[in-house]
Structure 1
């Protein structure tokens, strides 16, 4: 959910407003569970459907509770979502006043959720009972996925107020509930500005490490394996304090033997031998250094900053932001590059480097080639 919907305040305890995340109470969850059980029972009728639509129209929270409950019911029953969509379309009475979704004036401008007829899917009673138990007996758990494409950046404000900035080609899964806050970085790079909540530590898992904080700002980046160099995880602490320890998610990866407490300005690099890419060198222990923060965070303002970096490393960084890669001719990798460049402008970067080192630039077959003149 986007966090832009809220409840209407009519007996629900929360008002709708931009930026407010709907909060489903146990009472509304129980009501949604009852509606789902009734709709998939033998006494379902058009009148019952209209009453349920009216119940959903009361607030965004009611609609959210019904949507989540329906998802749980489908998962418990093993229902194919494509079949649900087809059955819903087939069973929805189009063009009949008062019977179709949104047909009545009371529903105008309100998003409500349709459903197939019970005979279209025939779910088991057991599945419905499971959903009712989950809805009423457990607190809500929000699980969301966010991702960015090549060259795309995205700011996400989580339900707890944490700001999560995603860099190019990043994939994360967020899980928030009443007892924990957990994020899984599956690839790419993310900057977290964590909202303070001592009762719910904020845990970011990536590769074989878990980063725990209660209120701080830090950067997590997964560096893919390449040319025999194993995958690496970089954790950079901008402010506050975090604890990094092994998560045990990858049994073959080198573990962090003891929890590492980081101080502001530290960067921790942990290498893995997972994915079939094994380094010819012995596995390195986690290493701490103190990099320039303005370089590491330059992507947040759409820039890449290099200070006496090898051309190969600079090209690798620029290629993260463009679907048109820069390709180096043999013998150019060790040339040095400094400067400030716009991310995504591969051609501009290539021409600047060519002018600096007397190279030739050629666009060919969807790539930019840098070579000798």
Structure 2
């Protein structure tokens, strides 16, 4: 990962992620305090793909539409340079945070109608355990939507959003199928986790064996791989079905124990995970901070304490709006 970049060039990014990154870049670039290196990084980010450039142009259009508000904020910035020269950077960070919050509120996407019609849903920070009719247990993680469709020949569920751990009851006469993002995970009796992150789906095997299949628009059509314990695989329309890779189950399944565990993970990755469970949102407005390594074991029910610990350890400044919206500088 580059010094100031947000996601690795090879990592899949959802439109929501691109929108948020574009806003963060734009607010930083218009602050008047960017370096030549940061400007070069911004140009490189825009050039990664047509989707990156489109997200930036969309943010620019929204930015232009906020001209009256921007004028008042810049006037405040100039005034504070005279009245509080030693505190200008921090106060401008607060003003930029307010602008970013307005823009991101406009860009934010609500759940689709299909998700709202799901049989079972959890909200942000909520978890739920379902005991299905055949004895299978589904543990729903934060912000998850699941529908169940059982019949005499097959046990089928659809993961519409979020993440779920399926502990499947054995029944060789009726396979257990999970549909998620254009792919299907098939099992008889096993324990595995399926997570949807935008258009990207990740399957992590905790115990037993499954078969993961995915059909895309490539000439190869459907692809399928077996998945064994302590392995994972991901698929998406952008990358197709990926390669199977080993995984540390202690980290991957920590949420089932009410924990988040990180070992030298980039700050941006850590905040993405915290944002899944915490009401509101945490952003980083300085791009040079996104790659700072974070290690720790954090309780899901004490995430504000986790943020304070990260802030102290990395010596960051924070701007909090209403307690829920936090901007790190």
Q: Which residue of 240, 248, 257 corresponds with 1:292? A: 248
Q: Which residue of 166, 178, 188 corresponds with 1:214? A: 188
Output one character per residue of 1:10-60: Cα deviation in whole Å (capped at 9) or x when no partner: xxxxxxxxxxxxxxxxxxxxxxxxxxxxxxxxxxxxxxxxxxxxxxxxxxx
- Taking a change above 3 Å as real, the CA distance of residues 210 and 321 of structure 1, as seen in their structure-2 partners, is same
**Which structure carries more relative contact order (alpha carbon 8 Å, separation 6+)?**
2
- Taking a change above 3 Å as real, the CA distance of residues 318 and 201 of structure 1, as seen in their structure-2 partners, is same
On the 8 A contact 2:118/2:145 being kept in 1, the answer is no
> Residue 259 of structure 2 aligns with which residue?
303
Task: Find the aligned partners of 2:220 and 2:195 in 1 and give their Cα distance.
Answer: 18
Structure 1: tracts of 5 or more residues without a match: 1-142, 225-230, 274-282
Matched, 1:243 2:211: yes
> Residue 323 of structure 1 aligns with which residue?
279
Question: Secondary structure of 1:169's match?
Answer: coil
On the 8 A contact 2:181/2:236 being kept in 1, the answer is no
Count, aligned residues: 211
Superposed, 1:161-310 pairs within 5 Å as 161-224=135-198, 231-246=199-214, 248=215, 252=217, 257-273=222-238, 283=239, 285-310=241-266
On the 8 A contact 2:118/2:160 being kept in 1, the answer is no
Q: 1:367, CA displacement in angstroms?
A: 0.5
- Taking a change above 3 Å as real, the CA distance of residues 196 and 298 of structure 1, as seen in their structure-2 partners, is same
- Taking a change above 3 Å as real, the CA distance of residues 256 and 190 of structure 1, as seen in their structure-2 partners, is farther
Task: Find the aligned partners of 2:221 and 2:232 in 1 and give their Cα distance.
Answer: 15
Q: 1:348, CA displacement in angstroms?
A: 1.3
Output one character per residue of 1:251-296: Cα deviation in whole Å (capped at 9) or x when no partner: 65897643211111110011224xxxxxxxxx36512111111111
Task: Find the aligned partners of 1:304 and 1:254 in 2 and give their Cα distance.
Answer: 40
Task: Find the aligned partners of 1:211 and 1:254 in 2 and give their Cα distance.
Answer: 22
Structure 1 residue runs of 4 or more that deviate by more than 6 Å after TM superposition: 253-256
Matched, 1:341 2:307: no
Structure 2: tracts of 5 or more residues without a match: 1-116
Output one character per residue of 1:312-356: Cα deviation in whole Å (capped at 9) or x when no partner: 000000000011211112121010001111225342122111111
Question: Secondary structure of 1:287's match?
Answer: coil
Task: Find the aligned partners of 2:301 and 2:219 in 1 and give their Cα distance.
Answer: 34
More strand by share: 2
Q: 1:147, CA displacement in angstroms?
A: 0.8
Provide TM-score, normalisation by structure 1. 0.54
More helix by share: 2
Task: Find the aligned partners of 1:254 and 1:332 in 2 and give their Cα distance.
Answer: 41
| Alpha-carbon RMSD | 2.0
Question: Secondary structure of 2:233's match?
Answer: strand
